Amino acid sequence: MLNSITPDLFINDPYSIFNTARENNPVLFGNFLNSTGWLITGYKEAEFVLKDPRFIKEGRKLFPPEALATFSERVMPAIALTRNMMLFRDAPDHTRLRNLVNKAFTPKMVERLRPAIEDISSYLLTARKGQSQHELIRDFSYLLPVFVITELLGVPKEDRELFRKWSDAFIKFIDFNTTMDDLESVSDDLKEASNYFRELISKKRITPQEDLLSGLIQAEANGDNLNEDEMIATCLLLLVAGHETTVNLITNAYYLLLTHPEQLKLVQEDRSLISNVVEETLRFEPPVLMTSRWVAEDMELAGQQLKKGQIAFISLAGANRDPLVNADPNSFNILRESIKHLSFASGPHFCLGAPLARLEGIIALEKLVECFANPRLLEKPVWRKNFAFRGFEALHFEAETR
């Protein structure tokens, strides 16, 4: 059944595909989005793959050089950039990089951002006073995370607008349906981002401040430290991971409240439910649909024989709707007593920014519920044409502002 999936079908309704696949087998082999491999949609199976070291990120280690894809000179710097990101590394390199970033990206640093997140949210929504029609992404949910991540990294405010182009380029570069032409088209943007961060790092070396980038420069563990290329890659990764996914989380959550007015009313009456809204959104309509791993050795999983060198697409969104772990999984319900999801992944690659994403999501929704009275959608939103990420092109609604 995987062979008949078209890109438009996947973008508009990935959950029907994931549910049908899971009913066949939670670990299913086929041609999926122009790749042949395993689609994993069961919660137990997905969690197993995310935690088991026999599933790896660095697939190039499994093949002889002549079997690997070749890239043009224009694309190679961007390839090198992504290979320095901990997202695409395995132990021991991943462990080393993550430990060093952890030293700078501390819970204390995240909590220190709370007043800034509240102030930025209030500032953005104050600008909507007197307006009756709104576009959530343009007016709020894109701006909040980009303001926060630039604040966290220590990027000058005047450079924020550069980030949208670089973030879009990176997402296109790593998406599951990316073509060689796509890689060529965005490589210059990634080179520009790399050069920008290289220059910013030079400035922070001379004048360090209380920000994450200064912390990365100073971070040391067992006499080790991030080299400049790793630091640049980490900055770009944090930019995208800390921005793109949070845009989707905030927008998807508000969309779900707008399309479930009875649950919006519950939240208006009891703001303590907002953390449940965030978790149920992460489960039901997560910012990231899928991730991937390479099979590093032959093994059996869910009665299937996986072979070394095959690719596994782990459907985080499909696992979240596994009826074995979440009752009535295809219903959005903020009153669930137990919400299980893998939207921040699991195992060694569990999302480093999960506490920040949750904090931004909760504060953003508190402010949106407080600001807008009688909100309603003006049109059905259009999903962006991404296969790994799940978010809208725009979200138009009308509401009175308080």
Label residue 234 left, alpha or beta by phi (over 0 means left) and psi (-120 to 50 means alpha). alpha
Identify residue 227 by its one-letter amino acid code. N
Tell me the per-residue pLDDT of 253-305, one tens digit each, with 9 for 90 and over.
999 999 999 999 999 999 999 999 999 999 999 999 999 999 999 999 999 99
Residue 280 CA to residue 333 CA, distance in Å, equals: 7
Contact 190, 166 (CB under 8 A): yes
Q: Which burial class, exposed, middle or buried, applies to 330 when counting CB atoms under 10 A from its CB (0-12, 13-18, 19+)?
A: exposed
Residue 343, pLDDT > 90, answer yes
Contact 309, 63 (CB under 8 A): yes
Chain centroid to Cα 88, Å, comes to 14
Position 182 scores a pLDDT of 87
Instruction: Find where tokens 């066949």 sit.
Output: 24
Cα separation of the two ends of the chain: 50
Residue 310 CA to residue 312 CA, distance in Å, equals: 7
Position 224 scores a pLDDT of 76
Residue 221, pLDDT > 70, answer no
Residue 326, pLDDT > 80, answer yes
With cut-offs at 50, 70 and 90, classify the pLDDT of residue 31.
confident
Residue 367, pLDDT > 90, answer yes
Position 329 scores a pLDDT of 98
Interval 180-197 mean pLDDT: 91
What percentage of residues in the chain have a pLDDT greater than 70? Answer: 98
Position 362 scores a pLDDT of 98
- CA triple 63-65-70, angle to 5 deg: 110
344 to 65, 245, 247, 289: CA distances (angstroms): 33, 10, 15, 11
Interval 194-203 mean pLDDT: 94
With cut-offs at 50, 70 and 90, classify the pLDDT of residue 1.
low
Residue 390, pLDDT > 90, answer yes
- Sequence ranges of the domains in the chain: 2-401
Tell me the per-residue pLDDT of 237-248, one tens digit each, with 9 for 90 and over.
988 888 889 999
Residue 34, pLDDT > 70, answer yes
Residue 33, pLDDT > 80, answer no
Residue 220, pLDDT > 80, answer no
Residue 11 CA to residue 243 CA, distance in Å, equals: 21
Contact 318, 22 (CB under 8 A): yes
With cut-offs at 50, 70 and 90, classify the pLDDT of residue 222.
low
Domain 2-401, CATH: 1.10.630.10
Position 6 scores a pLDDT of 83
CA-closest candidate to residue 12, choices 289, 354, 293: 289
Position 40 scores a pLDDT of 98
Residue 311 CA to residue 55 CA, distance in Å, equals: 9
Tell me the per-residue pLDDT of 70-97, one tens digit each, with 9 for 90 and over.
788 888 988 899 999 999 999 999 999 8
Position 402 scores a pLDDT of 86
Interval 227-233 mean pLDDT: 91
Contact 378, 255 (CB under 8 A): no
Query: What's the sign of the alpha-carbon dihedral 203, 206, 207, 213?
Result: positive
